[in-house]
Amino acid sequence: MKRSFPLIFTALVTLTTFSPVSRAANIQIPFLPGEKLTLQVRWAFIPAGEVQLEILPFEMVKGVKSYHFAMTAKTSSLVDPFYKVRDRVDAYTDAEMTHSLLYKKKQQGKSKRNIVVNFDWKKREAQYSNFDEQREPVTISPGSFDPLSVFYAFRLFALKEGIKIKASVTDGKKFVDGEAAVLKKEKIYVADKWYETYLVEPDLKHIGGIFKKSKNAKLQIWVTADKQRIPIKIKSKVSVGSFVAELVSYEPGKSLP
């Protein structure tokens, strides 16, 4: 049971690491600072915790005006005695949403980590460090994103049934090209509200951990069938069971178009 709880929260970042490798010209960004999403997570019937995704005010990073994305994840008081999670992820991209600039992750629960991934676009490298202990940099492709900001890059592109979306993603330890399929348009009921959504299913061949070890592992993401493409529901199926994360609160940016 203990092994399952890290999966619940790390998957919320990992499973959304699929974005197009090229982008349309003059595309309109459908989100602004001030947006906040809150998802409640259940492991089977257990209320396991909460995840918040937030866009903070623009910042200057390495001399570039940048988006600042933040994710916080915490387990519930019911789960804390088994596996306490108190994670925060901060990710920065250029204001045009073409590539990542910096990625940070702090874990202060049962596991302790202080991860920083620096992107050097002159060398086309990303370098990972944990508590200042550096690994060898990995080579990356133009337009690559980190595991959090790629979720927002995914939202830039129109979806339709039957298409496949490719990805270039790095966590500083490895670089992968992935793929996700848009399976169908579907109306779902979440938190006392009906939503028109698209069901997106990532290919799991590049995702490790419990997903890799499970013969019939599956991830499914339902996003709104509009220009904002907000995640409404995320569901997994792995060898130790399944989890569901559902949107319970949405606050838009300050001046959405």
pLDDT per residue as tens digits for the range 69-107: 999 999 899 888 888 889 999 999 999 999 999 999 999
The pLDDT value recorded for residue 48 is: 87
Interval 36-57: pLDDT, tens: 999 999 887 888 899 999 999 9
State the Cα–Cα distance between residues 87 and 10, nearest whole angstrom: 9
For residues 115-126, average pLDDT: 97
Tell me if 232 sits within 8 A of 244, measured CB to CB. Answer: no
Higher-confidence position of 63 and 211: 63
Residues comprising the chain, all counted: 257
Written as six digits, the tokens of 21 are 């490798």
Tokens describing residue 201: 């299913």
Which pLDDT belongs to residue 43? 81
What per-residue confidence (pLDDT) applies to 218? 76
Cα separation, 65 vs 77, in Å, equals 39
pLDDT digits (tens, 9 = 90+) for 171-204: 899 888 877 889 999 999 999 999 999 999 887 5
pLDDT at 26: 58
Q: Over the stretch 204-257, which tens digit does the pLDDT of each residue have?
A: 555 555 444 456 667 889 999 999 999 999 988 765 567 899 999 999 998 544
- Whether the Cβ atoms of residue 167 and residue 178 lie closer than 8 Å to each other: yes
Note the pLDDT of residue 17. Answer: 43
Residue range 116-128: mean pLDDT, rounded: 97
The residue among 32, 34, 50, 72 whose CA lies nearest residue 251 is 34
Tell me the pTM. 0.87
Confidence (pLDDT) at 50: 93
Q: Which pLDDT band, with edges at 50, 70 and 90, does 151 fall under?
A: confident
